[in-house]
Amino acid sequence: MPSTTSRSLFPLLALAACATSHLTAPPDYAALVAAPDRLDADRAIDGGRHPVETLAFTGARPGMRVADLAAGGGYTTELLARAVAPGGVVFSQNSAVLVKLAGEAWSSRLARPALAEVVRVEREFEDPLPPQARNLDLAVIYASYHDLVAMKVDRERMDRAVWAALRPGGAFVVVDHSARPGSGVEDSPTLHRIDEELVKREVLAAGFRLAAEGSFLRNPGDARDWSTSPHAAGERRGTSDRFALRFVKP
């Protein structure tokens, strides 16, 4: 197949416009999220994931070539596919481990009409994208950078591979659950969190520069001492303190 809370979206939209001025205007993200053919299961978690603000932060827009890394069941893949249509393509990537964990959810997702221009990618994280996924405008990894620790992924290799796949000016957006400052990867396998500063250091070391930090997923009241795994979080799912980082390839 060819997958401080922001008071206004205007700063995010302005950021996106500057970063991708060679492309078309951004779509109406709120309208995309409100599309009647989206899955009820996706709508049920929208409140905790803030998809409108997330899409605005990524800057996804029609005609873009995008990669969704660690796609899982494809929630983010579908949002990106809607945002880059018409004329865009999304490379939806899962490793062998994630393919097993996703089960039929990923395959079912990619069969949906809204994802007709999504390319299914089954590759390991150290080399996550196929040869045709080059000169990308955007790569996204949502709430899964911390999982790379437990999966013993060579994150340095992955970050360099993302760098190589992006065009100059292309963006790498990392969203994840924040761990206690200075904890590094200590809480990644157990609490499914990662130290924000560690992520910055690792991605910057690959040659990126930090272009923006989003506050729309922040929760200062989060003690960061509980697991954000959907099964373990229970009613607290979607309330964790999360960072959103937009890196750019100079």
Q: pLDDT tens-digit profile of 133-148?
A: 999 999 999 999 999 9
Nearest alpha-carbon partner for 67 in 151, 146, 150, 123:
123
- The model's pTM is 0.90
3 found inside a domain:
no
Q: pLDDT tens-digit profile of 193-205?
A: 999 999 999 999 9
Phi-psi region of 176 (alpha: psi -120 to 50; beta: other; left: phi over 0): beta
What is the reported pLDDT for 225? 97
5 found inside a domain:
no
The pLDDT of residue 14 is above 50: no
Domain extent, residue 24, equals 10-248
- Written as one string, the DSSP assignment of 166-208 is EEEEEEEEEEEEB--TT-TTTTHHHHS-B-HHHHHHHHHHTT-
4 found inside a domain:
no
237 found inside a domain:
yes
Q: pLDDT tens-digit profile of 22-60?
A: 568 999 999 999 999 999 999 999 999 999 999 999 999
Contacts 24+ apart (CB under 8 A), 76-79: 76/140, 76/142, 77/3, 77/109, 77/110, 77/115, 77/118, 78/3, 78/38, 78/42, 78/109, 78/112, 78/114, 78/115, 79/32, 79/33, 79/51, 79/54, 79/55
78 found inside a domain:
yes
What is the reported pLDDT for 203? 98
Res. 127 pLDDT band, cuts 50 70 90: very high
1 found inside a domain:
no
What is the reported pLDDT for 10? 39
What share of the chain has pLDDT > 70, as a percent? Answer: 91
Q: How large is the greatest C-alpha to C-alpha distance in the chain, in angstroms? A: 44
User: What is the spatial distance between Cα 178 and Cα 125, in angstroms, rounded to a whole number?
Assistant: 21
CATH number of the domain enclosing 213: 3.40.50.150
What's the domain count of the chain? 1
2 found inside a domain:
no
